[in-house]
Structure 1
Amino acid sequence: MIRADLADELHRRADTDQRARNLCIETGEAGDLARIDADNTAWIKSVIAEHGWPGAALVGDQGADEAWLLVQHADRDPEFQSQALKQLKSAVEAGDAPARHLAYLTDRVLVGAGKPQLYGTQYADDGNNLLPQPVQDPEGLDERRAAMGLDTAAAYDQRMRTAYTR
């Protein structure tokens, strides 16, 4: 049964997250981003502790996307991201979360640990350019991406670079 209260709070928090990130992109200043991320991380940790991974069955499809977004942006707590990744994997296997969420969070955790990513979803800004982070087995990248419901690495790279130049 969908918990509308959790879904509504996820929507509010994801909206705040995205507004803050967009402002950061526009102005080049982080503003309240660290505080927002810390608050969202503490909240989503408590939700996961109480309910498990907040998948579509609990919070609907949009809420599941928003839960993943909050965990994705919990970079200041890599231990939590790693723990959440295990729960997300189980949710994906149960059909309660999309595989693309698993691909992105897997890469985020790997890159955060200083390891090459599997799916090529993570980029870094070197001050002048947007660069993909190192990838394990680049020859098998598009096959791995397709298995997770992602488009080709070239198409994703083009989309990322187009968004970066706006």
Structure 2
Amino acid sequence: MTTDEPQRPDLARELIARAEASAAHRVRGLRNELDGVQLGRGRHADHANTKFLRRVLGEYEWPGHRLVGPAAARAAWSIALHSDHDLIFQRAATILLGRAVEAGDALVQHWAHLHDRALITSRCAQEYGTQLLLSADGIELCPLRAPESVDKRRATVGLPPIAVALETVRRRYMPNGSADEAPSVVLAEAA
């Protein structure tokens, strides 16, 4: 086996499949294409994904690049990021992802996003400005600690300046400059 091949390709496939299905569902939700039953199914899937990732973390700690490969490590991050219903799990995942970053087995940008998301879920101000709110009024940052030094903090984790990130998100989610009928939802800047 080469160092580029994940140790657990079966686990990698499962993480990717779960994250892709969840992402497709979220896109449909952003487009207001889901009814109440479908929204409930999406929440159920998020709970099931969290439960699955909890088992993975219990057995392997963070499923990093060596264990599952970069795409599946990103999928695990996405599942943890969307586990807002379980703050204790989200905090634990942040710690384990931080350890994987220190070991060179995960991306620090993913850690910064998950750290910010856990802070926002806890009703605290975020550190890196990765969490945004999309509403009918447009896109705005979720509460941010010390906004005057956010670009300095972002640079330490390899993120672009906040103005660049906000413009990228606006182009992605509001290509015509309007968020008409957009549901209020917390978004994560792309990582």
TM range (shorter): over 0.9
- What is aligned with 2:142? 133
Tell me how far 1:115 sits from its aligned partner: 0.9
* Amino acid paired to 2:34: E
Residue 37 (structure 1) aligned to one of 46, 67, 70: 46
1:111-126 equivalences under 5 Å are 111-126=120-135
% of aligned pairs identical? Answer: 36
- What is aligned with 1:67? 76
- What is aligned with 2:185? none
Tell me how far 1:126 sits from its aligned partner: 3.5
Q: TM-score, normalised by structure 1?
A: 0.95
For 1:149 and 1:40, how far apart are their aligned partners in 2?
A: 28
Tell me how far 1:87 sits from its aligned partner: 0.7
- What is aligned with 2:159? 150
More deviation, 145-154/25-34: 25-34
Q: Moved runs in structure 1, 4+ residues, more than 6 A? A: none
Cα displacement string for residues 41-60 of structure 1 (whole angstroms, at most 9, x for unaligned residues): 11001111111100101100
For 2:7 and 2:139, how far apart are their aligned partners in 1?
A: 38
1:6 and 2:11 aligned: yes
Residue 56 (structure 1) aligned to one of 56, 65, 74: 65
Structure 2 spans left out of the alignment, 5+ residues:
1-5, 176-191
For 1:21 and 1:156, how far apart are their aligned partners in 2?
A: 21
For 1:13 and 1:39, how far apart are their aligned partners in 2?
A: 9
* Amino acid paired to 2:11: L
* Amino acid paired to 2:51: A
For 2:33 and 2:88, how far apart are their aligned partners in 1?
A: 28
For 1:118 and 1:27, how far apart are their aligned partners in 2?
A: 30
Bigger helix share: 1
Tell me how far 1:135 sits from its aligned partner: 1.1
For 2:132 and 2:32, how far apart are their aligned partners in 1?
A: 20
What is the root-mean-square deviation in Å for CA atoms of aligned residues?
1.3
Residue 76 (structure 1) aligned to one of 61, 66, 85: 85
* Amino acid paired to 1:125: L
- What is aligned with 1:23? 28
Tell me how far 1:86 sits from its aligned partner: 0.8
For 1:48 and 1:127, how far apart are their aligned partners in 2?
A: 37
Tell me how far 1:127 sits from its aligned partner: 3.3
Larger RCO (CA within 8 A; separation ≥ 6): 2
